[in-house]
Amino acid sequence: MSNYRGDLRRWLLGSGTSASAPPPRPRSGHHQEHQEHQEHAPPPKAGAQRPQRLSSLLSARSVAGEVFLLQLAVVVLLVAAAVVALVVQARSSAMLDARHRTLAAAGTFAESPGIVAALRSPHPSAVLQPSAEAARKIAGVDGINVYTLDGVTLAHSDPRQIGKRVVGPFSKAAAGKSFTETLAGSLGQSVVSVVPVKDADGRVIAVVSSPVTVQNVQSMVNGQLPVVLGSAAAVLALSAGGTALVSRRLLRRTHGLGPAEMTRMYEHHDAVLHAVREGVLIVGAGGRLLLANDEARRLLDLPAAAEGLPVTDLGLEKAIAELIASGRSATDELHMAGDRLLAVNIRPTAPYGQAGTVVTLRDTTELRALSGRAEVARERLKLLYDAGVQVGTTLNVERTAEELAEVAVPRFADVVTVDLLDPVLRGEEPPEANTEMRRTAVVGLQGNHPLSPVGELIRFAPTGPMAAGLAGGRAVLEADLRATHRWRAQHQANARQILDRGIHSLIVVPLQARGVVLGMAGYWRGQDSPPFDEEDVSFAEELTARAAVSVDNARRFTREHTMAVTLQRSLLPRVVPEQSAVEVAHRYLAAQAGVGGDWFDVIPLPGTRVALVVGDVVGHGLHAAATMGRLRTAVYNFSTLDLPPDELLSHLDELVTHIDTDDQEWQGITGATCLCAIYDPVSGQVTAATAGHPGPALVGPDGTVSFPEVPVSPPLGLGAGTPVETMTLTLPEGSRLALFTDGLIESRDRDPDAGLAALRAALSGPARTPEETCTAVIDAMLPTRPSDDVALLVARTRLLDPARIAEWDVAPDPAAVSPMRNACARQLAEWGLEDISFTTELILSELMTNAIRYGTEPIRVRLLYDRCLVCEVSDGSSTSPHLRRAADTDEGGRGLFLVAQFAVRWGTRYTARGKIIWSEQALHEGAAPAAMDPGEALLAAWDDEGF
């Protein structure tokens, strides 16, 4: 039992199971320190333990230390008392011996023969002094003194005192009585014996005193002290050694515990034996039971005298008895003990005590049923977590419904169906009244199955579970489909096939988000699966509610995406306008994140020129698409003013700055870039400017690719008045210009330099049409899942036939108008345009007249024969003509009105050296703005309706 208590103490202190008392403080030699190091370090040498044991032995905190110190104190006190007693006894004996010796010496000298005669002699001192000195030496006293009755010294140990009178307590001796006293004499404090000297008649004639000094007596005692102290030291050493041996053995037995700790240990011992609701067994190395607590006796039904018996003889189940007796370690091994299911844990007692094992037993009979339910609950929680991760990975309504079905099969149901309202599938708000849904997902059935297939429209039966679930807004449970008939109203045609397939239980749950029904989820079980119960209903509602949020998010995204796509498609060019300057092809690809702000445009300009524009608005969504539309409209409007690229981008920069100032709700800078290039097919020149946008790629007629350096200005909205610079190149006919956004060359796994290298490789090669070039570039450059929009515009240049270009210099003289008009008429006749010769002469006459009258030299006239006839009159003045309403009395002011009447359109274009006034006339019949002859047009000039 003592071994068990030590092992049990270590087990309790090591496991820390006690809740009623704090754990013992760590100290030298304690089990806690031993436990921390014993498992991971080799056993220490014996010599290494001595200081630790000595410190523990001398510590008053342990029982052994207290006993040792107490015994040592008792021994010291006893030895000290004995020494004191011996010293006192020796002093007393010395004093008694001194009394006896002095009395004997004084008496012997007083009774010596001849003392009376010597006293009565004429010179008694001469006779007595030698005799007294000889007697003193023989007696070993400090002196033998003789005094007369009147106190005169006759003999003394100090001859100088002879003849002197002394005063002393000699009255008793004078009266004939001897006595011994301690007196202070000439020799100091002394033991003095006084004896009277009597004559033959018995009369006292003198006194004899014999002193021994106390100092001499103490010297006698001190001579005995070494023996006394040596004996005391030997006794003390022997007693201390014995005490140390006993205390050391006690220290090993108590393991350095203090009284409070031992009290707590035995309290823990009693708690383990009687209060702990877990069985504890201590089994020795031989497989014998050393101890069993009350719970272990109850769980194993042990006999009263079980301790000391082999475990195999206790009548236990064979499996659990062999396990306990085996001595091997075990963790939560389940074994039957009668009608109980026990979880057995076994751990060796080494190195905490003697060889053996500690066995703990826990009754899991009641927990077995709970563990099954807990496992189900754990699986359900994990399923809800997985649903939160796996459902809603995309913002696609159909895919989200499929993910709900996939995550529930087979972990919750064998078959899952999801039905959604048609407006939800389109991203619209669901209607309040809904009587039909479309099957969106079916998971768990393969091949030809009896349930409605995906895509089929399902109409609710008034008495069916779907209608009941919608009406109540809660799940409907059909635990046994064979025993109920309500569900058959919804599946009249295939109810028998559903039952034959083994499906036997159903839960129908409305898909609701924000209080609005989006659809229905059906959970079916079949084959060997248990039927649904009320707990399954609660879980199905929770799972469906979480999925409904994802479905609603996908629906709302679909709505916004559809709106953004619709807006973007309405803002991007649907068809490229007809023009002769370039042959174009284009591509626009939205990013995975949705609609963005990339755009392109092809804008015909006067003089057969064309503007090629590519831009990019930062971000995605409706705001980016709307901003893109505003910028594209602004570019188109600025282009109608016939502005050069640098001025166009400057005006656009101011517009974006105003947009950023006005759009406070977006809380950020819009951020946009733009590249504008204007190509003139007459000269073959292209002028380009960029605001933070990548420059174009140029493919020569021979297939070589280059990237012209276009001066880069800050992005739109950040220019802050910075001038925009342009680049001008002359291109050979058949060259290809590729304008693109940064989404084509940049991505998360590709830097711009690598993108440009890949674009160069995709553009190079034999001559290809713009359409073929776009296809090749997109196939080579576009990633599988682009993270940004991509806009690509490819234009192959053309040159206007020089035979269709006519130019003349005009003298600054009104008389030069008529010859120029005739020259133009002849040129029109060569081109076969005689039908518009008169209106052309009229337009040129008015334009040349205005240039001569209001402009400056040089004045030039140019005719361009393309899809229409372009008449241009240029001069060195920067003044701009404009239409005005002439009064009835005004002689002029109606020339531009006539030009506007006969031309399809007209305008002014400023150049570095002046301006150009141009007009365009349709070449085919029916394209003229009005069918009136010149005379009617002249008369209409004075009519208010003509303005």
Compare 362 and 223 and report the one with higher pLDDT.
362
CB atoms within 10 A of CB 92: 11
Do you find a cis peptide bond into 310, omega within 30 degrees of 0?
no
If one compares 370 and 142, the residue with the highest pLDDT of the two is 142
Question: What is the reported pLDDT for 718?
Answer: 81
Render 427-450 in DSSP notation, one character per residue: TPPPPSS--EEEEEEEES--SS-S
pLDDT at 112 (0 to 100) = 85
More confident residue, 192 or 937: 192
Quickly state the pLDDT bin for 256 (edges 50, 70, 90).
low
Query: pLDDT (tens digit, 9 = 90+) per residue, 149-162?
Result: 888 888 888 888 88
Q: Comparing C-alpha atoms, which of 3, 1, 2, 15 is closest to residue 268? A: 15
Average pLDDT over every residue of 884-906: 66
Angular region, 524: left φ>0, alpha ψ -120 to 50, beta rest = beta
Mean of pLDDT values over 872-880: 87
At residue 573, the pLDDT reads 77
What is the number of residues in the chain?
947
Mean pLDDT of the chain: 80
Q: Is the pLDDT of residue 302 over 90?
A: no
Q: How many CA atoms lie within 13 A of 905 on its CB side?
A: 9
Question: Would the pLDDT of 614 be above 50?
Answer: yes
Model confidence at 656, in pLDDT bands (50, 70, 90)? confident
pLDDT of residue 708: 93
Contact 9, 31 (CB under 8 A): yes
**Beta carbons of 606 and 920 less than 8 angstroms apart:** yes
Angle between helices 2-15 and 31-38 (to 10 degrees): 70
Mean pLDDT is highest, among 75-89, 98-112, 851-865, for 851-865
Long-range contacts formed by 746-755: CB under 8 A, 24+ apart: 746/788, 747/783, 747/786, 747/787, 747/788, 748/787, 752/694, 755/781
In the chain, % of residues over pLDDT 90: 24
Q: Does residue 239 have a pLDDT over 90?
A: no
Read off the pLDDT of each residue in 845-850 and give the average, rounded to a whole number.
88
pLDDT of residue 337 exceeding 70, the answer is yes
How far is residue 936's CA from residue 246's CA, in Å, rounded to a whole number? 145
The 8-class DSSP code of residue 804 comes to G
Phi, psi at 196, each rounded to 5°: -75, 150
Q: What is the pLDDT of residue 605?
A: 93
pLDDT tens per residue across span 453-479:
899 998 888 888 888 888 888 999 998
Residue 941 has pLDDT above 70, yes or no: no
Report pLDDT digits (tens) over 581-590: 999 999 988 7
Sign of the CA dihedral 555, 559, 561, 562? Answer: positive
Query: Is the preceding peptide bond at 124 cis, omega within 30 degrees of 0?
Result: no
Q: Give the pLDDT confidence of 925-935 residue by residue, as tens digits.
A: 444 444 445 54
CA gyration radius for the chain? 64
The structure tokens listed for 804 are 């269709």
Q: How many angstroms separate the CA atoms of 6 and 349, rounded?
A: 11
| Token pair in block for residue 779 | 């196939």
pLDDT for 632 beyond 90: no
Tokens of 416: 């899952």
**pLDDT > 50? residue 548:** yes
**Is pLDDT of 44 > 50?**
no
680, pLDDT greater than 70 = yes
**Which pLDDT score is estimated for 882?**
65
Average pLDDT over residues 50-75: 66
Q: Single out the residue of 316, 312, 287 nearest to residue 302, CA to CA.
A: 316
Confidence of residue 27 (pLDDT cuts 50, 70, 90): very low
Residue with tokens 């070589």: 704
pLDDT for the residue numbered 440: 93
Q: Which residue has the higher pLDDT, 204 or 52?
A: 204
- Whether the per-residue pLDDT at 887 is higher than 70: the answer is no
Residue 788 to residues 464, 590, 594, 748, Cα–Cα distance (Å): 48, 7, 9, 10
- Supply the pLDDT for residue 372: 63
- The larger pLDDT score, comparing residue 709 to residue 54, is at 709
Structure tokens at 835: 């039908």
What number of other Cβ atoms are within 10 A of residue 303's Cβ?
12
Distances, alpha carbon 424 to alpha carbons 118, 398, 521, 831, in Å: 159, 10, 14, 63
Least confident of 5-9, 62-66, 278-282: 5-9
* Interval 311-323: pLDDT, tens: 888 888 888 888 8
**What does the block give as tokens for 166?**
């002394």
Share of the chain above pLDDT 70, in %: 84
Q: Which residue has the higher pLDDT, 283 or 885?
A: 283
> SS3 of 910, please?
strand
With a CB cutoff of 8 Å and minimum separation 6, the contacts of 457 are 422, 436, 437, 438, 439
The model's pLDDT over 799-837, given as tens digits with 9 standing for 90+, comes to 999 999 999 999 989 898 999 999 999 999 999 998 888
Q: What are phi and psi of 57, to 5 degrees?
A: -70, -35
